[in-house]
Structure 1
Amino acid sequence: MSNLRTTADQILDCTRSLVIAGGYNGFSYADIAAVVGIRKASIHHHFPAKSDLVRTLVNRYRQEAEAGLAGLDSAIASPAARLRAYAGYWEACILDDTASFCLCALLAGQMTMLPEDVALEVRTHFQTLSAWLTAVLSTGADQGEFHLSAPPAVEADGFMATVHGAMLSARAYGDPATFASIIQPTLQRLGS
């Protein structure tokens, strides 16, 4: 059985790298064509407009994240361990540079420049992540694993902001260890 990626997948993978490196306006179809080794017309065949391309990319990213979160839910019974695993995923990605920054966090910093359909996908990602974190924190508080100082939804948004801020700080300082130095006190405060 062949495991060849489709041209659309290659375009999306390339776009992800380019968006993380330079943001929504930091790349063109010519950049993608040069990396993937295809003509710009081929990209337009799959994704007629840049907004179609980035919207599809964000949707795929969100689906991957949802699958990853569901995997944590099914593999790890303890809410505190799930939260640590979520933070640990990002710490490992930042340390080995497989994913040094959340695609949606990067795009959220550019919301005023994004086409509305792309912005909607980014918002949906944050809503999905917030809902998952809220459920984990709520369950953990009910089980005595977390000591929340605010309602679970507020704590979830605060934790999400801390994770994304830690990514940004690690990137700004050029030091992947910065991520853990920011996240660990937050996990300890929650009781995780």
Structure 2
Amino acid sequence: MTELSSTAEEILRRTRPLILLGGYDGFSYADISTIVGIRKASIHHHFPTKAQLVRILVERYRREAIEGLQKMDEVIADPAEKLRAYTGYWQSCITSGSEPFCVCALLASQMPALPDEVAAEVRVHFRALATWLTSVFRDGLEQGSLHMAHDPEIEAEVFVATVHGAMLSSRAHGDPAVFEMIVRPLVERFVR
């Protein structure tokens, strides 16, 4: 990815919460213009289309997530602790309101209406997350520290779906505790 100007970086930074509030169609360049304090034409200069803006935002979001998972791999060896750390990260974000929902999960709920280039980036995000979780489950199986009913690939997909579904339930109930209520037994069923 090419280096972006400070204005483009600010546009991306301010767009992320807008997506979390209303999804792809929940904001416009006029909204960004007001928040950032620049003209819509300036936004179009940096991001000619909304699809391009959101695609770049999702690409960056995925890179940040992968970097975070790689850092986790460097400091946590135990697969069960990695699962707890991953869900703990989201519990903290949801409780604090700093990142109340995964950007890609929210966009995935809108897949039929997303431009193809945005939908493709969302799919890549979920593949990357499932790939990382598959490796965690494989490691746990090899070490004997995790027990599972299905192949690691299947358990990884179930884990992804359950964690993101827990985000949705937490949001629907307006209660961050709902997330923990769902994911704690999810993790623990692998470590019995």
TM-score (norm. length: structure 2): 0.96
Match of 2:82 in 1: 82
For residues 116 and 169 of structure 1, the distance between their equivalents in structure 2, rounded to whole angstroms, comes to 27
For residues 81 and 19 of structure 1, the distance between their equivalents in structure 2, rounded to whole angstroms, comes to 31
Match of 1:70 in 2: 70
Q: CA deviation at 1:88?
A: 0.3
For residues 147 and 122 of structure 1, the distance between their equivalents in structure 2, rounded to whole angstroms, comes to 30
For residues 71 and 42 of structure 1, the distance between their equivalents in structure 2, rounded to whole angstroms, comes to 36
Q: CA deviation at 1:6?
A: 1.1
- What whole-Å deviation, never above 9, does each CA across 1:133-186 have from its counterpart, x for those lacking one? 000011011111111100000000000011000000110000001100000111
TM-score (norm. length: structure 1): 0.96
What amino acid is the match of 1:143? Q
Structure 2 segments unaligned to the other structure (5+ residues): none
Q: CA deviation at 1:110?
A: 0.3
Match of 1:186 in 2: 186
For residues 49 and 31 of structure 1, the distance between their equivalents in structure 2, rounded to whole angstroms, comes to 14
Moved over 6 A (4+): none
- What whole-Å deviation, never above 9, does each CA across 1:97-150 have from its counterpart, x for those lacking one? 000000000000000000101000000000000000000011011111111100
What amino acid is the match of 1:128? A
Paired residues, number: 188
Are 2:21 and 1:17 equivalent residues in the alignment? no
State the identity %. 57
Match of 1:38 in 2: 38
1:116-155 equivalences under 5 Å are 116-155=116-155
